[in-house]
């Protein structure tokens, strides 16, 4: 692991945690509150918060690692947005679609999850691409 990778990992972790709070703690908060049988009460969920941090550390590291292995000598913003779309199609879209199949969740809630988390991944893709913008690979 080099310095650039460590800085990118930390940066993506912080942006992802903040973005997830905005998406799930603010934008979707009321939607989750309407589904008390599907989700833990907020007070109960707090005891598991260290696992949330661990999950975001792992995701951020994997996100940066995958990007760093495939960065090309192309414009960084387009590359980052494409990467975010690819990761969203690999993770967000199928995950929430599967949840919809197995949990009695309103369809509009799933659409919001996909749109908001998808947008967050576009931001994360742009951030990691910005941090790796001077990498020149064949």
Cβ atoms of 112 and 27 within 8 Å: the answer is yes
Reported residue count of the chain is 138
Residue 136 pLDDT greater than 90, yes or no: no
pTM: 0.93
CA 12 to centroid of chain Cα atoms = 9
State the pLDDT at residue 1.
75
What would the pLDDT profile of 67-80 be if each residue is shown by its tens digit? 999 999 899 999 99
7-42 per-position pLDDT tens digit: 999 999 999 999 999 999 999 999 999 999 999 988
């Amino acid at each position: 692991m080099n310095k650039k990778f460590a800085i990118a990992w930390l940066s993506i972790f912080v942006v992802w945690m903040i973005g997830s709070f905005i998406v799930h703690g603010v934008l979707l908060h009321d939607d989750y509150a309407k589904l008390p049988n599907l989700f833990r009460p907020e007070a109960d969920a707090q005891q598991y918060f260290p696992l949330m941090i661990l999950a975001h550390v792992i995701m951020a590291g994997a996100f940066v690692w995958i990007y760093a292995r495939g960065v090309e000598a192309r414009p960084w913003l387009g590359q980052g947005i494409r990467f975010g779309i690819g990761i969203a199609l690999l993770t967000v879209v199928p995950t929430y679609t599967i949840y919809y199949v197995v949990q009695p969740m309103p369809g509009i809630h799933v659409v919001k999850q996909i749109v908001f988390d998808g947008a967050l991944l576009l931001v994360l893709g742009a951030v990691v691409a910005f941090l790796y913008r001077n990498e020149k690979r064949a």
